[in-house]
Amino acid sequence: MSHAWMPASPCGDGCVGSTPQQVNGFRQAWRAFTAITALLFGVTLALALLLPGRQRESVVRLWFHAVLRAFGVRLEVHGARKFQEVPKRGVLVASNHVSWLDELAIDSVQPIKLVAKKDIKSWPVLGPIITAAGTVYLDREKLRELPRTVDELATTLRNGSAVGIHAEGTTWCGLASGHYKPALFQAALDAGVPVRPIVLRYRIGDHRTTQPAFIGTDTLVDSIRRVLKVRDLVVEVHVLDEIAPGRAGTRRELAKLAEEQSNRLTSTELEIAPSTGDTHRARTITPLVA
């Protein structure tokens, strides 16, 4: 059921052009095989829970990185190498949202808990792994459940966890972006923890690309197949400065601060030309993670 809070994106099928540089069929098949192998290996990650905290985090981070590389994607991290500036102090990590690859990239920097739409809980292989990681699930169609989700999120932050949200609330193509939705920022205010904005960028060579986008009529399989074909795909994770508690009095002010900080990166970074179309057709997108 749709309601006024439901986020929407104008990005549609026209935002994604043809794959500019493709690997051959054998390479695509090898990527698919290694990705499936890495994902299945993730089922055994429950054993990592027996390790001390730092070692457990390292094992999980390396697994996410391995899955990312299996799909043929290279990771670049700009800025801090961890999202938590102070160990064991909660932080709300607010990012833009482009692709199902976003979570792999974020957790390759530092494994964190996520706010995800409830559908993911039933996914084979990944669903149990994501649930075991302490994911906070959100039913976007039931607005009355939002306060409960915010309370749960605030408790998780008070307990010292890093928690990630996609602040736009839905996926965009990667060349365009949306306004940050304020609702979940209330949890950072309630918990008295900082917000860490991060920006995800996808490129091929020197050109920003929409190939990894998960938008329009895309199915997850469609998007995965497109990624498997791409040559030299890079995901950049830009880790920006923390927004300290007390800099904003309301969730709207806090969301605006995070959005402005992310936009400053976009306006000051070296301009990278797009390699695909950037047409935007108004439509409601069903995102992978809310």
What's the average pLDDT block by block, 10 residues per block, for the chain (290 residues)? Answer: 62 79 93 91 68 78 93 96 92 94 93 80 67 72 79 93 91 87 95 97 91 86 92 96 94 96 72 44 34
Distance CA 282, CA 165 (A): 23
User: Does residue 79 contact residue 200 with C-beta atoms inside 8 Å?
Assistant: no
Question: For residue 236, what are the CA distances in angstroms to 135, 215, 230?
Answer: 24, 20, 16
Position 284 scores a pLDDT of 34
Distance CA 237, CA 77 (A): 5
SS3 assignment, position 94: strand
Instruction: State the DSSP code for 49.
Output: G
Task: Indicate the pairing of strand 9-11 with strand 280-283.
Answer: antiparallel
SS3 assignment, position 208: strand
Position 281 scores a pLDDT of 39
Position 273 scores a pLDDT of 43
Position 218 scores a pLDDT of 84
Distance CA 212, CA 180 (A): 21
Position 34 scores a pLDDT of 95
Q: What is the pLDDT of residues 79-134, one digit of tens each?
A: 999 999 998 899 999 999 999 899 899 999 999 988 877 776 776 666 666 676 66
Instruction: State the DSSP code for 10.
Output: E
Long-range CB contact pairs, 118-127, < 8 A, 24+: 120/288, 120/289, 125/39, 125/40, 125/42, 125/43, 126/39, 126/42
Position 1 scores a pLDDT of 45
What residues pair up with 241 in beta bridges, in sequence order?
A: none
To the question of pTM greater than 0.85 for the whole model, the response is: yes
Query: What tokens appear for 26 in the block?
Result: 């054998």
Query: What tokens appear for 142 in the block?
Result: 């039931």
Superfamily of domain 73-283: Tetrapyrrole methylase, N-terminal domain (3.40.1010.10)
